Amino acid sequence: MVFKTPTTASFPPYQVEVPVTISSGGTASNIIDTNGMVIAAVRMPAAWTAATLGIESGATATTAAMQPVYKQGEATATLYTEAATTSGIFPISAYATWGGRYTRLISGHTTTSVAQGGDRVITVVLRYF
């Protein structure tokens, strides 16, 4: 039997890159539909007002549905954040985005958010896990 490699028409893409924007003066990106994928990494822009990067997820694509993501296995509830600087690619734990189909990024995190000094476009790398 011969194995035939599936074409892209019959096989979903393994990785998708989606741009999200944190507006000037804002602290949260637009909400994206991960459609069953997890965030594998983020590609940061050349300009970034110093802040960690937090994640919120929800079951619906509304701001009211977004809930902060917490680190797994911590003795106390610790918000999930990643160090983020300019012009870098930062891996994200796949477990961090299993909580909901819809996700957005937070400049800082929900209790200590940091307003960005300009529009910031971040590329979110989604993968099947």
pLDDT in tens, the chain (129 residues): 444 444 555 556 688 999 999 999 999 999 999 988 999 999 999 999 999 999 999 999 999 999 988 887 766 677 888 888 899 999 988 888 777 889 999 999 877 899 999 999 999 999 987
Integer Cα distance of 126 and 37 in angstroms: 6
CATH number (3.20.20, 3.30.70, 2.60.120, 3.40.50) of 15-127 reads 2.60.120
Domain ranges for the chain: 15-127
Number of Cβ within 10 Å of residue 115's Cβ equals 14
User: Rounded to 5 degrees, what are φ and ψ at 103?
Assistant: -140, 150
